Amino acid sequence: MLSHILFAICMLLTIVVTSFTGIFVLVGLSGISWAITIWAPFAIIGAEISDGLVENPLLGRYERRQGIVMGLHNVAIASPQVVAAVGSTIIFWMLDGMDHGPQDSSIGWVLRLSALPALVAAVLTRRVRDAVSRLE
């Protein structure tokens, strides 16, 4: 949850950061968020499917389903990337030809608007944690 918030803050700071040093700091801080985003889901899924056996209720036997779980995980990763690519294309198309000055480009607006899904992800992550704590 905190990594999503960190990413959102970094993207919103693109409004005020104008120096190369500031850009390097934002990219570095975004890298922390990216590392957690890449590592955490695989660690959680790996722990859950480590024994590899899942009971098949239709056949009454245990089967290995790691491939199915990882395939679903990959779909869950790829789908938001497609949505982000389409959304970025729309933003680029809307801002095409507009002169916003040297420090205000369509790329900057794509980054700034990416803070919104990051904040939504933080809220959803919080809900998952709350749901798991209620189950325990």
Contact call for residues 74 and 38 (beta carbons, < 8 A)? no
Residue 116 has pLDDT above 80, yes or no: yes
What are the tens digits of pLDDT across the range 57-83? 776 766 667 777 788 888 888 888 899
Q: Is the distance from CB of 10 to CB of 112 less than 8 angstroms? A: no
Dihedral pair phi/psi, residue 85, rounded to 5°: -65, -40
- Is residue 54 a contact partner of residue 45, using CB atoms and an 8 Å limit? no
pTM (two decimals): 0.74
Identify whether the C-beta of residue 27 lies closer than 8 Å to the C-beta of residue 130: no
Share above pLDDT 90 across residues of the chain, in percent, rounded to a whole number: 36
Please report the pLDDT score of residue 125 as a whole number.
86
The mean pLDDT value for 39-58 works out to 74
With 0-12 CB in 10 A as exposed, 13-18 as middle and 19+ as buried, what is 58?
Answer: exposed
Distance CA 45, CA 76 (A): 13
What is the C-alpha radius of gyration for the chain, rounded to an integer number of angstroms?
A: 20
Cα dist from 113 to 59, 66, 133, whole Å: 48, 35, 32
- Under DSSP, the state recorded for 62 is E
